[in-house]
Structure 1
């Protein structure tokens, strides 16, 4: 089957029918390249499965089917070399709720919840929302666009206090697009064990590694000693553009951790979204050809973006190694304290504000859109960033 990643799809409906956060947050003339929501039609196999489920006509309380658990087990074995068990899976409506549940389940009020910055904004709110103490450690910035962002183990350890109990980890990393090196992960694993921390490893972008031959290894699989203290989070939402179907999975090998997590979720989370579960199974069981087509498109878009950034004076970007998100340093671009606002006003392009990720002066750009829409947005940015 040939998948179409070229034809733009109208997502901004004047009547407000099927509104989306991405396309309806800003005025009609603004091109949105902000939230992590792609503009590609989701895999046809998913749509077919959803049509079949809708035709059934009844949407009562559902159960996670054994076939979905088995599909995720097969995906993990095939793509990551990690043989997980069906019983390890706790399905729930989204990764962000899972972060909060983990904080409530594994820590006590006042305990420290640690993460590295910049980071996906909800990470920075977990401690506050759950009555814990927020703790942050900065990553090591690249010295040039040829270098990647790196994990600063010294800064991370310096941020740990006697109250620190939980590390919120992002692997691969959002927003920088880093695919962590084995030596970085080994240092992290040693630190986690020595300080007796729990880890939530958000691996939402792990199926969108952009470099040829790249292979994702889950943190708990790479370092088996961590499995008893790690909750791994996966979802089809980014890989297959299914975010609105709110379906994610916490993979928890340790029975005690699993019971604590499940007990905390009881009464706080609704039962599984029956359509989200159907979509997840179709994606993991039959969505691989679509994913491969998507990766080819994203690699081309990354190359387009790299060439464009090279023409923008005083703008820096380490090319992302994963997903469809680029992290741009605009601190020296002459756009003031909030470059996101200036580009919105002067170019009519909506990007994500780096301040929300803990790093003002940066923006995150979503290049998961059609080539035509990307080119239009980049041409608008040219008018401001080339000046």
Structure 2
């Protein structure tokens, strides 16, 4: 491998040599030094060399005033979309924003009225569940169909989703591929979703943040907008380089909206509520999409090996169930029968000193989300700690 995904990087309190201030990490700074953090979704890998170089060059310029989105970035994303997703997007469809979570909130404000329903399907990335409350809308949820047998995949329950839609429902927040289960939705599930959206005249936000991290060798992401052109007048697609290239701290994302009227509504609500684009994030995004493909391919090899190691470990833990994630670097573990009580995340933190994300925040208590986007040695150490506790508890 040309790139290093094995050497641990100091992330607790790194700093420039002999200088202050420190550069704290949310992931590594929340807990005491004896805790291994496998929770929040950022990886422990150095970003692609092309990104490092362009950021160095940009900082050497020394002026960080208000910037604009360069045409070259728009063209680069168009090329990436066509090559990887077979979706021929236009530069003018792109609205570059400071992150996907702010974009979810802007969508609610721009596309719904106070009191209208914002629907999402659980388990789900926690900010989805806060959008309605934060924007004065009606929070609505439906549940995925949990696996019936050990190792089986989670499924979209179209009947449950349809029953959750009421006359108040206006907006559906969707995650494709799915965080936290790692599902790559199949065409039948997505066709059923599209039919429900059209039948009930809903607007749809498709968070496709993990679309470049498909772990199945033959899988290829298909954006909802490419699969179902009839959704164009009601669909916002959210992309970002943050998960793929480990750039979350540069707060840069893109809403791709082909419909002029829908895009204008979204853009109008951004004014005054969103900060200007991040000048470093924009150049990093262009370098990542334009020159980061070899790094991404090696990352996928590392994540596949880490996933295999995780699957091996889970198979030895009594009462623990997991469908191997088909995408992302996140695994969704069912610990309800592992003998750890009602709050397994707390027990794993206190007794194994491994920090995972609490399933209750995703709408499903008794589960945890594990981030395996870390070096093999750090993953092995965390799994060894969990192995001691889970084998004893089971």
Q: TM-score, normalised by structure 2?
A: 0.97
Kindly indicate whether residue 122 of structure 2 is the aligned counterpart of residue 87 of structure 1: no
> Structure 1 CA distance, aligned partners of 2:257 and 2:51?
26
Q: Which residue of 1 aligns with 2:293?
A: 288
> Structure 2 CA distance, aligned partners of 1:386 and 1:276?
44
Judging changes above 3 Å, is the alpha-carbon distance between structure 1 residues 14 and 274 closer, same or farther for their aligned structure 2 residues? Answer: closer
Secondary structure in 2 aligned to 1:68? Answer: helix
> Structure 1 CA distance, aligned partners of 2:286 and 2:273?
24
Q: Which of 185, 195, 198 is 1:193 aligned to? A: 198
Q: CA RMSD in A?
A: 0.9
Shift of residue 202, structure 1, vs aligned partner:
0.1
Secondary structure in 1 aligned to 2:65? Answer: coil
Query: Does the CA contact (< 8 Å) of 1:144 and 1:316 recur in 2?
Result: no
Q: Which residue of 2 aligns with 1:11?
A: 11
Shift of residue 227, structure 1, vs aligned partner:
1.4
Q: Which residue of 2 aligns with 1:312?
A: 317
Q: Which of 121, 126, 135 is 2:140 aligned to? A: 135
1:232-271 paired onto structure 2 within 5 Å = 232-271=237-276
Q: Which residue of 1 aligns with 2:232?
A: 227
Secondary structure in 2 aligned to 1:69? Answer: helix
> Structure 2 CA distance, aligned partners of 1:236 and 1:274?
14
Unmatched runs of 5 consecutive residues or more in structure 2: 16-20
Query: Does the CA contact (< 8 Å) of 1:328 and 1:364 recur in 2?
Result: yes
Query: Does the CA contact (< 8 Å) of 1:76 and 1:82 recur in 2?
Result: yes
Cα deviations across residues 280-299 of structure 1 (Å, max 9, x unaligned)?
00000000000000000000
1:295-334 paired onto structure 2 within 5 Å = 295-334=300-339
> Structure 2 CA distance, aligned partners of 1:12 and 1:135?
38
Q: Which residue of 2 aligns with 1:210?
A: 215
- Alignment size in residue pairs: 387
Query: Does the CA contact (< 8 Å) of 2:143 and 2:157 recur in 1?
Result: yes
Shift of residue 136, structure 1, vs aligned partner:
0.2
Shift of residue 13, structure 1, vs aligned partner:
2.0
> Structure 2 CA distance, aligned partners of 1:194 and 1:143?
29
Q: Which of 149, 163, 174 is 1:158 aligned to? A: 163
Cα deviations across residues 266-324 of structure 1 (Å, max 9, x unaligned)?
00111100000000000000000000000000000000000100000000000000010
> Structure 2 CA distance, aligned partners of 1:382 and 1:297?
22
> Structure 2 CA distance, aligned partners of 1:278 and 1:209?
25
Secondary structure in 1 aligned to 2:182? Answer: coil
Q: Which residue of 2 aligns with 1:110?
A: 115
Q: Which residue of 2 aligns with 1:45?
A: 50
Query: Does the CA contact (< 8 Å) of 2:69 and 2:277 recur in 1?
Result: yes
> Structure 2 CA distance, aligned partners of 1:219 and 1:144?
29
Q: Which of 337, 345, 348 is 2:342 aligned to? A: 337
Unmatched runs of 5 consecutive residues or more in structure 1: none
Shift of residue 189, structure 1, vs aligned partner:
0.4
Shift of residue 14, structure 1, vs aligned partner:
7.7
Q: TM-score, normalised by structure 1?
A: 0.99
Q: Which residue of 2 aligns with 1:22?
A: 27
> Structure 1 CA distance, aligned partners of 2:172 and 2:59?
40
> Structure 1 CA distance, aligned partners of 2:204 and 2:213?
22
Q: Which residue of 2 aligns with 1:356?
A: 361
Q: Which residue of 2 aligns with 1:58?
A: 63
Shift of residue 384, structure 1, vs aligned partner:
0.6
Secondary structure in 1 aligned to 2:28? Answer: helix
Q: Which residue of 1 aligns with 2:18?
A: none
Q: Which residue of 1 aligns with 2:2?
A: 2
